[in-house]
Structure 1
Amino acid sequence: MPSAKRASAPSSYRRKGRPMFREDGSLPTIEPGDDFGACAEIIASEWEEEFAFFPFVDADVVEEAALARFMPMGLHLETESAKHDFLLPKLHLERCLLDPRTVRITKTARRESRRYMLSVNRGFRNVLASCERQHGSDWLVGDLVVSMIALHEQRAVRRAGFISVELWLCKDDGPALVAGEIGYLIGSAYASLTGYSVVSGAGTVQLAALGRLLAAVGVKVWDLGMEIDYKIALGARILSRSRFMPILSRAYADTSRSGALGLLGVSRLVPTRELIDGGGAAIGPSLEEPR
């Protein structure tokens, strides 16, 4: 994350004859009315900065940033007289992308999967709150949380559909929510934005089962964000901007992924071993909760 000092807002916003401007020592500033997609192209072609600055956070601008291949993040600043949340859209220099059909399943994940069940959109607010508790609010600021909730509730009519994935531990007294993540679906691409786990190894099982599910419903690109060892272990490739941005553009424009729309519904609880061993095919068409 950039420091608060470095990311502080310019004292005035002014047009420069093209989208966005940058003052010495500050982040590129996207102004209201600017095209986020054009700004992403300028950043990719001219700068090695990963973050940009936008003066407020709401559901519409979060969606615009996501559609432009930024990952939406936030920054909270306080002065003696005011406090405010800003959007810090992140365009990684390198990003981890994975074809869900090639996800690597370890022997441990397959063995442990007998203990769990997976669901989609059964506990968005609970998962989001758990992510906040585990990781803090360094970038997951209040206005961004509110915007994510709105985008989730409006996911059926949004181009960027925010969803939750939940992992449940099977117990004698009923399933217990022990891991999950928040992400968004655009076209035939799915992006993992933030996640949490409270049981050792549960996150690995969740990712393995999710990969199988994404492949089964027709997701072609799994955007895992910044490089971390566990993502490489899953099979992700590290791609530069010149490679990952066109891949995401094509996936976002893909309208042939009707099966992926099942991820926008509220699912039943599916045994993760069934997902992993069946490659997701056993539950793909019947993901949604029976009505």
Structure 2
Amino acid sequence: MSTCESFESNVTKKTNDAGDTAFKDGQDSDHGTDRADHTNYADCADPAESADCADPAESAYCADPAESAYCADPAESADCADPAESADCADPAESADCADPAESAYCADPAESAYCADPAESADCADPAESADCADPAESADCADPAESAYCADPAESAYCADPAESADCADPAESADCADPAESADCADPAESAYCADPAESADCADPADGADHSDELEDDVNINKIVKRMSIEDPEALEKVYNLIKSNSCLKYYPLLTPYHNIKKTIDILIKENYEHENTWCVHCDARFISQLFYEGFIPVASKQKSYQMENEEIIVVKENVLIPKLHYIRSCMHPSEIHISKKVKKKCKHFYVTINKDFDGVIKGIVEKHGHNWLYPFIQDEFKKIHNRSVTYKNVQLHSVELWYDNELVAGEIGNTVGSIYTSLTGFQRRNCAGTIQLCVLAKILEQQKFQLWDLGMLLPYKKDIGSKEIPMKEFFDKHRAFKHQHAEFKVPFTEKLNCSTLIKGPIPNEG
């Protein structure tokens, strides 16, 4: 039984196959003081400028933040355009992959293939060695153009083409992609997949390849999705219904871990680290300030998304845009100690014209970010929750949310929002309205963090401008080891003044004593 099938069998018996939209990759935001170049905020806030989305038309994850990470153009995608024309060939006579039995891309073995309308005549099935299902992404019927293919844009990343040579659909006609033999299937070869198995108790992805046994009962209740689903069905049925509808409407969500307030987040991270989880994204339907704070506390960078959900209303299918969080845990993290900041001569020369404040104009910074980048991942619903954390109307342990403002005369010319947990500061996103202002703001921020004894500055994904100021790449495990050590050390994010302070005082000289 597939991951999707087993999850759906636990959640509900409904069979609404209204559509197959996609999982946005958090609008591919870097969430670490986004600047478009070395001085401008980047990271897909503007997909046209992003280092990750250099060509939005080609990017498998960034082509359209509103659409699928796997379906660069849902209108064109053979697997996503229409649930009725599914890549699974619900109707072999009409399916985009099975329109012509002679061309069928899934016919691994003419004698056995479930997808060959006429196994005896299938041109692609005559030889299992030449199966069109990603045996060779460059020649595959589904992967003719890897840049365009919904599933093969990046064979190293694709959920279906992770290793074309070992594809569960292609490697051996006897070893079908449906995991007929979980002990042999390429999708089931490693219990590493259990970290994001929708139903660990039944999923073929969670079997033990050594003996085909099911080990889901060994998982503790607070990371066992079966137990969590059962609890949600009693305590939180509306959220569970939303989860079900989103999975039915966005098939890509099946391949990412679901997080809920009922999970032990720390244990979940440990599982993902152990299994070398590289996809970085998770997802959740709980978008309240307290859960966001909990995610901050554990080291996630939660960003907002809108996902299509097909629902029935008065016997008609309607499309609803659901609020969703995409908590990110970057496989490689950009971090530094604040004292490692590199400050250029240009910044030192220009900084005397600028002033810095902390938490003086949170709303103004939010407005500047939206003005510069659009709503991107900073949708109104997450803005509201961020404000609750910022003004401390909702609290969770030592998590706080701050704004940093850079002023030129009385004009707000740059700023960012970031969160603190103990002696860790995480830059989330920011903006600039004046040349070099963004770099000056970062350099001043580093000096404030250093003066206040912060031990770790988390900048999210590594980009060239971050490297230029001294940030380094560290792997996921090392990052979380540091995060768990430093979040218990006290540091207070403030500057010793009540109004504006000239940036040159921070960058060139000692910070004045308070009072």
Which TM class, normalised by the smaller chain length? 0.7 to 0.9
Closer/same/farther in 2, CA of residues 200 and 232 from structure 1, 3 Å limit: same
Residue 123 of structure 1 corresponds to: 361
- Post-superposition offset of 1:15: 8.1
Closer/same/farther in 2, CA of residues 154 and 110 from structure 1, 3 Å limit: same
- 2:401 pairs with 1:162: yes
Report the RMSD for the aligned CA atoms in angstroms. Answer: 2.5
Give per-residue Cα distances to partners, 1:206-232, cap 9 Å, x unaligned.
111111111011111111110111111
Give the one of 503, 510, 513 matched to 1:272: 503
Give per-residue Cα distances to partners, 1:227-252, cap 9 Å, x unaligned.
11111111111101121110111111
Closer/same/farther in 2, CA of residues 202 and 155 from structure 1, 3 Å limit: farther
**Paired letter, 1:62:** I
Closer/same/farther in 2, CA of residues 210 and 103 from structure 1, 3 Å limit: same
- Post-superposition offset of 1:95: 0.7
Q: Which has the higher helix share?
A: 1
Residue 350 of structure 2 corresponds to: 112
- 2:458 pairs with 1:223: yes
Secondary structure at the residue paired with 2:506? helix
Secondary structure at the residue paired with 2:258? coil
In the superposition, the TM-score normalised over structure 2's length comes to 0.49
Residue 62 of structure 1 corresponds to: 292
Secondary structure at the residue paired with 1:88? strand
Distance 2:432 2:368 in 1: 9
Closer/same/farther in 2, CA of residues 275 and 131 from structure 1, 3 Å limit: same
- Post-superposition offset of 1:156: 9.6
Give the one of 265, 269, 279 matched to 1:36: 265
- Post-superposition offset of 1:135: 1.8
Give per-residue Cα distances to partners, 1:156-182, cap 9 Å, x unaligned.
954211000000002xxxx11010000
Give the one of 336, 341, 348 matched to 1:103: 341
- 2:398 pairs with 1:142: no
Distance 1:132 1:154 in 2: 23
Residue 239 of structure 1 corresponds to: 474
Distance 1:261 1:168 in 2: 19
Moved over 6 A (4+): none
Secondary structure at the residue paired with 1:243? helix
Secondary structure at the residue paired with 1:73? strand
Secondary structure at the residue paired with 2:328? coil
Distance 1:148 1:266 in 2: 25
- Post-superposition offset of 1:129: 1.8
Residue 213 of structure 1 corresponds to: 448
Distance 2:393 2:339 in 1: 25
Distance 1:15 1:147 in 2: 32
Higher deviation after alignment, 82-91 or 175-184? 82-91
Residue 254 of structure 1 corresponds to: 489
Residue 419 of structure 2 corresponds to: 184
Instruction: Judge conservation of contact 1:59–1:151 (CA < 8 Å) in 2.
Output: yes
Closer/same/farther in 2, CA of residues 253 and 115 from structure 1, 3 Å limit: same
Structure showing greater relative contact order (alpha-carbon pairs closer than 8 Å, 6 or more residues apart): 1
Q: Which has the higher strand share?
A: 1
Closer/same/farther in 2, CA of residues 155 and 270 from structure 1, 3 Å limit: farther
- Post-superposition offset of 1:138: 2.8
5+ residue gaps, structure 2: 1-23, 26-60, 62-66, 71-197, 202-218, 226-246, 310-317
**Paired letter, 2:258:** T
- Post-superposition offset of 1:14: 6.6
- Post-superposition offset of 1:134: 1.4
Secondary structure at the residue paired with 1:89? strand
- Post-superposition offset of 1:57: 0.6
- Post-superposition offset of 1:155: 7.7
Distance 1:262 1:248 in 2: 21
- 2:511 pairs with 1:282: yes
Higher deviation after alignment, 32-41 or 123-132? 32-41
In the superposition, the TM-score normalised over structure 1's length comes to 0.85
Task: Kindly tell me the number of residue pairs found equivalent between the two proteins.
Answer: 271
Distance 1:32 1:241 in 2: 22
* Identical residues among aligned pairs (%): 24
**Paired letter, 2:290:** D
**Residues 44-83 of structure 1 aligned to structure 2 (within 5 Å):** 44-46=273-275, 47-79=277-309, 80-83=318-321
Distance 2:330 2:306 in 1: 21
